Structure 1
């Protein structure tokens, strides 16, 4: 009788544990392109932010093609009637217009003072670019003149920073060498709402390449960086001291073909990850024809909950994901280099 009771008790515990791990269901509320016509033939590297007024802003770079001198930063603001036409908010022209540099990888971020920051990169290539910053105090309607970030500070390289309860901003960044053989990641910390920065390395073996971290915060306060790599897997590093030091990056369990990712710490607990679920191929674009949304309850074990794209050919890459103040999920990504795709989701448990 005791053994039977013990078996039933264990079975009950296991059943309860499985029930607790039930994955959220994804409800798609909106699924459309941000624009259908534009002044630029190619675009890439979108970013998202919610303003103090509750509107959503998307930004990206667009131009003739990546690295072309005309590549500029564009934004669109979402209203009840849809997305506004893209407007240019930054470029790489010098004051006398004698030189124009391509611009890259905008990242929008709202600090605790409700000030919008627009980080972007300017320069001929990822190995030679430098960090730029603009600010907005009117929810993106107007932007300040650009300032160049200090030497050695690039700003968030692709994905959004996070701001801790202490007020410290942790900004995920990385560098690439001129010969392309070295990719290293780091974070940049600010305790004054983004006015000054301190750079902290994310250690990694010299035999691996890691760039473009995305950050999540675990329940115990530990920060985890998920990193794009050349290892066919997303690499991981953790910090238990608010970003002041990091563990050596090691391979996780999520496949990725050396392509951009983004992750999100949900307000209600749990985490989301947008990524290309494949290994790398002969061409740089191999594996980017599929794009998935995964969920994790603990930031370690990830399970797919939605196939956002699944085609034989195509490029669906460089996702961005945020959660707004009402709990809705917003995400964008590059769609065949010609448009920015937008989705609004609700998670139902």
Structure 2
């Protein structure tokens, strides 16, 4: 596989971001695209005003489970992890299953839940607890009945954060690879991975990945390629979606480089479809923050793109186009057992939306 030079690809990505900001956006709106099977809110009203960072999984029982954090606002100590199940064609009322209440000391906010259905095992819920992303720690809890009830939360080992935003993947040898990252280090944002050979009983940290192009990246997603290579794509501060590659099953990774997709410093998620295509959900915009959101880029539109090689991407569906205060952000994506694609994302920090796509119509 030929990869363009890091410098040329980084420059190209910034050009793409500039074009996006100039108004070159416009694919089909979600309601008009034939691939959109359904689009709905997981809930209409809640006991808390703000939500963010959804995640979705399909259980061994055959139904969907979604989770997100909700509370007064991000970083507030009352923020907890909420879970809903999709049963009999509808989402159940969200239930708080985890919070940051401490045995000693003040209550802490919770962050970024990640659902993962362990093959032949329980449904796992990873999340973070702490005052901010620089100081948080990883937690995990299990459900043996598809998210109906949950066991006692346990803290992950020191130095292991768990999947930071996006789902772990199962490697061909049956081991688990968890995409992770850190913020607030002397070296800036750093991408790393966490590997388990014993179904999550123990973990080994891999990385951090060396910086190739001048990119600060976090929140990777892992993709599989037919030649055996792994790819991770991730959010950056530099106006582009980043990527890194592994040719040895995730043990080592290439230096960070840029894709040809823009990124407004906002989370993405990606998945390898059963037909071999790579799919990413992301905000197709660069920086230029609105006055009410200094330091943050435009978190709209929200788009879906496909790639055959993980390098060149093409937009195929626009899920959201209209500006709003907090944007449409932090998507999560899976492909269900029936082949359909399920996407959840934050809708203006007020609700969580669930969209189903038919991949045959992309």
Structure 1 length normalisation: TM-score? 0.89
Give the conservation status (yes or no) of the 8 Å contact 1:208–1:230: yes
Distance 1:112 1:75 in 2: 20
1:157-176 to structure 2, matched below 5 A, reads: 157-176=164-183
Secondary structure of 1:183's match? strand
Aligned counterpart, 1:71: 79
- Aligned residue in 1 for 2:346: 334
Q: Which residue does 1:87 correspond to in 2?
A: 95
Against the structure 1 CA distance between its residues 250 and 34, is the aligned structure 2 distance closer, same or farther, given a 3 Å change threshold? same
Is the contact between residue 243 and residue 258 of structure 2 (CA under 8 Å) also seen in structure 1? yes
Alignment of 1:1-349 (within 5 A): 26-95=34-103, 99-177=106-184, 182-201=188-207, 202-205=209-212, 207-282=214-289, 283-314=294-325, 315-349=327-361
Q: Contact 1:26–1:347 (CA<8 Å) still a contact in 2?
A: no
Instruction: Say if 2:223 and 2:232, in contact at 8 Å, map to a contact too.
Output: yes
Task: Name the CA shift for 1:312/1:141 in 2 (closer, same or farther; >3 Å).
Answer: closer
Question: What are structure 2's unaligned runs of at least 5 residues?
Answer: 1-32
Q: CA deviation at 1:205?
A: 4.8
Match of 2:13 in 1: none
Rg larger for: 1
Q: What is the alpha-carbon root mean square deviation over aligned residues? A: 1.5
Displacement, 1:193? 0.8
Note if contact 2:240-2:264 (Cα within 8 Å) is conserved in structure 1.
yes
Q: TM-score, normalised by structure 2?
A: 0.86
Counterpart-to-counterpart distance in 1, 2:90 and 2:117: 22
Q: Distance in 2 between matches of 1:263 and 1:142?
A: 28
> Which one has the bigger strand percentage?
1
Q: How far apart are residue 206 of structure 1 and its match? A: 8.9
Q: Which segment drifts farther, 203-212 or 36-45? A: 203-212
Distance 1:313 1:209 in 2: 27
How far residue 312 of structure 1 moved from its aligned partner, in angstroms, is 3.3
Q: Which has the higher contact order (CA 8 A, sep 6+)?
A: 2
Within 1, Cα distance between the matches of 2:179 and 2:297? 25
Instruction: Indicate if the aligned counterparts of 2:77 and 2:108 stay in contact, CA closer than 8 A.
Output: yes
Gaps of 5+ in 1: 1-24
